[in-house]
Structure 1
Amino acid sequence: MPTIRTASPEDAPLLASLNGIVHQLHVGHRPDLFVDSPDQDVLEAFFRARLTDPAVTAFVAEHPDGRTLGYAQARLVSWDSGALVRSDLVVCLDQIAVVPDATGTGVGSALLEAVREAGRRAGCRRLVTEVRDFNEGARAFYDAAGFRRMNVRLDQLL
């Protein structure tokens, strides 16, 4: 079983590297949306900024031998009420990635549980995430974890 720890700003290079696992899948399916080779310095600065945001928490999964197995990044979001919807405090899972040789070993589930627990501690009533339609592995993971579809986003080139 992996050890899950909270990431710090010093982990920005690690998260930038792990992000490539999912990013390359995104580039392969939607090169019209995703940058082929993000600048490493820019990516690290992005993660460093996120990790200093009090609404953001990231977790790193590590093997007992010290190898990094994956990460998850989540943020707290307050949904405002309106004429048709209720207000809510939610935890949004923005990113999750598991190294390929650890897929299917419970690492993703352990990271997901860390995000759930962070949300519960913050008083959130729900966990939300987005998944790209082409990412069948992620869709299957979320289905198995008990998520249900909430929205479907469509796009069309003009």
Structure 2
Amino acid sequence: MDLIDITPADAHRLIPLLQDLHALHVAHQPDRYPADPDADALTRWLEEWLSDSSVTARAAVSPQGSVMGYMIYGIEHRPALPVRRAETRAMLHHIAVSESWRRMGVGAALIADLKRAVALQGIQVVATTYAPFNSASAALMARMGMEPVMIMAEWRG
């Protein structure tokens, strides 16, 4: 497996995995997520998002060049507040692994790559969010040393 950068021009390569990830969220929280977003709209959105210099996308690819999994993260500079210390952190926005490649270390390799990349920038904090129904993400984060520090709740009328 190789880990490669995904540029805005390569965003289309992530669409099948993004659609799978989104479908999982739709299945569990249909009031929150619209079903079946248009692939072209997803591609345009990813191209724009990945054009932001603070956002990085990396993919694990097979020897044949197929995308096994991907992650998208951003660097956030959070100023000090009277109630919080200043910090620069990496925020893992998306991580997805193709069903046929799950439980083979792809997600762990992506997160390890993220930790190495941000450590080279002097960043020692990696944060993420995941839905309560996503036990696979929760288990991966725990294996990678990431522990819940906050719970977000919401009400929808």
Give the match for residue 99 of structure 1: 98
The corresponding residue for 1:59 is: 58
Residue matched to 1:77: 76
Task: Indicate the structure whose relative CO is greater, using CA pairs within 8 Å and at least 6 residues apart.
Answer: 1
Which ranges in structure 2 are unaligned for 5 or more consecutive residues?
none
Does the Cα contact within 8 Å between 1:21 and 1:98 map onto a contact in 2? no
In the TM superposition, what are the counterparts of 1:23-62 in structure 2 within 5 Å?
A: 23-62=22-61
* 4+ long deviations beyond 2 Å: none
DSSP-derived class of the 1:117 partner: helix
Q: CA RMSD in A?
A: 1.1
Q: What CA deviation, in whole Å up to 9, does each residue of 1:39-60 have, x standing for no partner?
A: 2121111110122110001001
Contact 2:78 2:87 survives alignment (8 Å): yes
CA distance in 2, matches of 1:67, 1:44: 17
CA deviation after TM superposition for structure 1 residue 105, in Å: 0.5
What's the TM-score once normalised by structure 1's chain length? 0.95
What letter matches 2:8 in structure 1?
A: P
SS at match of 1:132: coil
Q: Does 1:112 align with 2:96?
A: no
**Cα contact 1:13–1:44 (8 A) shared by 2:** yes
The 8 Å contact of residues 69 and 97 in structure 2, kept in 1 or not, is answered as yes
8 A contact 1:88–1:125 mirrored in 2: no
Distance 2:7 2:116 in 1: 18
Indicate the residue corresponding to 1:147 in structure 2: 146
SS of residue paired to 1:14: helix
Q: Is the contact made by 2:59 and 2:70 (CA closer than 8 Å) also made in structure 1?
A: yes
Q: Distance in 2 between matches of 1:22 and 1:40?
A: 13
Q: Among all aligned residue pairs of Structure 1 and Structure 2, give the percentage whose two residues are the same amino acid.
A: 27
Deviates more, 1:139-148 or 1:28-37: 139-148
Number of equivalenced pairs? 157
1:150 Cα deviation from its structure 2 partner: 1.3
| Alpha-carbon distance in 2 for matches of 1:84, 1:157 | 28
